[in-house]
Every structure is written in structure tokens, then in C-alpha cells.
Chain A
Amino acid sequence: MRTKLLAAAVTVALGALASQAFAQAKPDVLVKQRQAAMTLQGKYLGPIGAMLKGARPYDADVVAVNATFLENLARMPWDGFDPSTKGEKSRAKPAVFTDTAKFKAASDLLEETTAKLGAAARAKNEAGVRATFGPVAKACGGCHDSYREK
């Protein structure tokens, strides 16, 4: 009983620490986090695009790895768009913090489209990759148009 109580107490304490850790992430670090996530998205999306255009030979294994990384990276930028980062130097438009419902929809769209691309890539389905690639690129660009300074 005592052990269980202790365990519960430790869990609560750790949970509090963890949420505090999130709360304490400094705004400049949050900006770096989201920029890093998007830089990596570009890194893993680019080669798939080059293969689909025929600029380099199609390699289903590389596509599977890249698309899976991309699918995970697609979830990572969003908690970096914390209101505390409003004053930080970045290309995020103010609409990110005022137009939150639409921004959320745009970020959800990237998660949905990259999930489809990832599934097709892991199934080694080249036609599926071809069909699901465009919507991913469109999701990237649509959000950039609305929420990123030129």
C-alpha cells in the first residue's frame, strides 16, 4: 500500500515536472523546434519528389523510410507555435495566432496527407505514392501561402 502510494506520488510529481518542462520551453527554442521539424520535412520530401519526376531512379526502400520519417515529422512543428513565440523573429504570420482554427485545420491536413503517403510507401505501392505525393506538397504550400511571410 505504502509502495503504491509512493509510486502514485512519484508519477504525479513526474507528470508535474514534465508539464512544467513543456511550459518552460523558451520561445526561441520553440521557434527552432518548428523550423527544424520543417527543414527535416523538406529533406525527406525532396528526394521522393525527385524520384517521381524521374530526376533520380525510383527506390521503394528509400521512399518508405523517407515517407515514414515525414509522417512523424508532420506532427512535430505544431506545439512550437505557442503564443509565447509571437515576438520571436520568424516568418510566421500573426494569423497563426489569431486564425487558430484554420491553422489547426491546415496542420491536420498535413498530418492526414503524410499518413496516406506513408501507408502507400510502406506498402511499396509506387502508384499510391504517386497519387498521394501531390496532396502532401499542396498541404505544405497551402499553409505557407496563408501563414508564412514571403
Chain B
Amino acid sequence: MRQSETPVKVWDAPVRLFHWLLVLLIAFQYLSAKMKGDWMTWHVYSGYTILALVFFRILWGFAGSSTARFSTFLAGPGAAIGFIKKLLTRAPAPYASHNPLGGWMVVLLLVVLLVQAGTGLFANDDIATEGPLAGLIAKELSDRLTAIHYWNFNLLLLLAGVHIAAVLYHWGIMKENLLGAMFTGVKHLPADAAAGGAGARFASPWLALVLLAVAALAVYLIVKRPF
């Protein structure tokens, strides 16, 4: 932490919990798919959990804390290009929320996760596991969606790799510790960016719980189709 920097809380607990749960569950999805056999039952349950988390994060992006909102961190192409120039010249460019590229990575990762969980609902492994909606469609279509489920995971790994590389770039080259902030919620920002961060409004954790319950109910209705 440099002298002129101020600690500012930017990430609320729901964002941080969402992030690290997702990391753990995605790792579990990879491992359980490799282990096969009895692990596939848990692969399916873990997939439901991921889908609920993604639904929650989308809701939180509209109704949650200001730093978690899409409207805060989604920037136009001009801002993105300006940010790339700063990255390349190593000019400091700290943001209280996501930077213009990071914001688009958030959206991209959420979309890829929706595709992954969505195809999983209709997938089958030609053994003894199938998604809860696979029975609703023809086997051939289920096979195609299974292929997408497979290839899209590689895309997810690629994006996660880019994401981690970017965090390392910020750490090593830009001297910004984004990783620590995702644990503690606190970024150390220079005065001007800190002023922006100080205006952050944090939504109630109770609202987060309610939205999580809504997300979980949506997944339950999709999976069980009680109506």
C-alpha cells in the first residue's frame, strides 16, 4: 500500500461468497466429470447450485450493492480502449468496481456459465446420468447439447485462464492487489478513485438472502417442473 492510498470497501459479502463458491463448484464439476461413476450424481446437484448462484448474481447485478451492479461497471468500447491503452503504458487506472474490461469479463463468464448449466439440464452421458430435462427432448438433440456442454467447458476454462492472467498482470505490473480485495472486500485506492468508491452503497444482506431464495426457487421449478 502506497502512502497516498486509502482503504475502501468495494465488494460486499454476497459478491465475495458468490465468487469463491463458484470457484470451488467449478473445480468440483471438472473433477466429478473426470471421476465419473457415482460422482455424476453430485455433478448434477452441484450444477443446480451453480445455476442458482448465477441467477442470484444476475439479480444482484440489478438490485444489489452499487459496486455489484451492471450499470456501474459496464462501460462502452471507448472506455475499454482507453483502459487498454493505460494497461499497456502501465499508467495507473484503478477502479472501485470492475474496470471496463473486467466488467465485460463478468458478463461473458455469466453467459458462458448459463450456457454450461443450461445445456447440462438437457445433457446425457449415454451411461446412467442425464439432466432433469433430457427426457423432454429427442435423444439426438440431447446428444448435441451434451457436445456443447463439453466444448463450452473448455471455453469456460479459457476465460478463467484469461481472468487469472489479468489479475496477475494487475498484481505484478500495475501493482494492484485484486485478489486480496476479493477476499477482504477492501481495495487500496488513490484519492480520486477512493472518492468514487466512498460513494458505494451497499445493499442489505437480507435482500441478498431473499434474492438467493428466489434464484433457488427458480432452479427448483426448472428441475422439478411441479406444474
Contacts and interface: CB of A to CB of B under 8 A. Distances in A.
User: Which of the four size classes fits the interface of chain A?
Assistant: 10 to 19
A141 interface: yes
Contact of A150 (B35, B39, B129, B150): B150
B41 A53 contact: yes
B37 interface: yes
Interface of B: 35-41, 125-129, 147, 150-151
A55 B36 CA distance: 19
Interface of A: 38, 42, 45-46, 48-50, 53, 133-138, 140-142, 144, 150
Given A42-B126, A50-B128, A140-B127, 6 more contacts: A133-B38, A134-B37, A134-B39, A138-B36, A144-B127, A150-B150
Given A150-B147, A150-B150, A150-B151, A144 B37 contact: no
A130 to B, nearest CB: 9
Contact of B40 (A42, A48, A137, A144): A137
Nearest to A131: B38
B38 A137 contact: yes
B186 to A, nearest CB: 44
Contacts of B151: 150
Nearest to A47: B128
A134 B147 CA distance: 23
B39 to A, nearest CB: 8
Contacts of B35: 138
Contacts of B38: 133-134, 137
Given A134-B37, A138-B36, A142-B36, A48 B147 contact: no
